[in-house]
Amino acid sequence: MRASLSIRAAGAVKAALLATGCATKRYVRDQISPVQQRTEELARKNQEALEQIAQLDEKTSRGLSRVEERALGAENRATQAGRSAEEARQAADQAARLAQNARRLGEENQGRLGEVTTYLENVDKYRLQTQETILFGFNRSTLTPEARRKLDALLAGLGRSERYVLEVAGYADPSGPQDYNLALSRRRADAVVRYLVSHEVPLRKIHVVGLGESSIGEGNGKPGPADRQAARRVEIKVYLPEAALPAAKAHTETAENRLD
């Protein structure tokens, strides 16, 4: 009887223990399952977050690359703009120099125009610079040594001058026929001209004439030998223009007076 009770008691205890174990497992399962689900949900969301972060990093990297490209492009454009501005400044400086040179040349040319105008107004006005008298023997038209010395001195006085005019006038004394004396006076003038031309005086600068008999003596007195000797002559006069030819001015082009 006792044994039967013990057995039933042991069975009841075992059943109780089994029932308690089942209840504990259900409790644990009921408690853990939500936590596990929450954990899995958090893991999923964490993975999604990581993926979003990766996508954001990629977008950020692309955005930074575009920004860097734009920044580099802007820097290049700024550099080019700086070069263009410097070139424009240099061009402006050059234009200013050219304008200044143009004004200066214009002022100089205006002044020279006035000089040329004055010269043209007086181009036909000459003044007597010097004169010389060459004497000849009776009925002669050849140059004496003394005549050549005088002509050489006259030529030396001309120097390298180019703008002069010579008047050569021949005379004879009243002895003999007038026609003969006229021709003789011309031969004497021609002799002087030939000597001058042979010493490189341009013929175009010489005006020559034979004037025939020359008046001699003073008052009503009879002409003497000295008077007749003075009549056998050639007179040479050297004329220079009153207005000097404006001096030419040479202008040299450099990096400052042309578009250098």
Each residue's pLDDT tens digit, 194-253: 999 999 999 999 999 999 988 776 555 676 788 889 999 999 999 998 866 555 554 444
Q: Per mean pLDDT, which range of 108-112, 132-136, 180-184 is the poorest?
A: 108-112
Cα separations (Å) of 30 from 24, 36, 145, 247? 10, 10, 160, 124
What is the torsional sign of CA 11, 12, 14, 15? positive
Q: Per mean pLDDT, which range of 15-19, 37-41, 98-102 is the poorest?
A: 15-19
Cα first-last separation, the chain: 138
Each residue's pLDDT tens digit, 132-170: 999 999 999 999 999 999 999 999 988 877 889 999 999
Q: Per mean pLDDT, which range of 76-85, 181-190, 231-240 is the poorest?
A: 76-85
Q: Per mean pLDDT, which range of 91-95, 243-247, 252-256 is the poorest?
A: 252-256
**pTM of the predicted protein model:** 0.49
Q: Where are the domains of the chain?
A: 1-121, 124-217+224-241
Task: Supply the DSSP symbol for 205.
Answer: G
**pLDDT higher at 97 or 142:** 142
Assign a CATH topology to domain 124-217+224-241.
Answer: 60s Ribosomal Protein L30; Chain: A; (3.30.1330)
Whole-number pLDDT of residue 192: 96
Instruction: Compute the distance between CA of residue 138 and CA of residue 173 in angstroms, rounded to an integer.
Output: 9
**pLDDT higher at 19 or 255:** 19
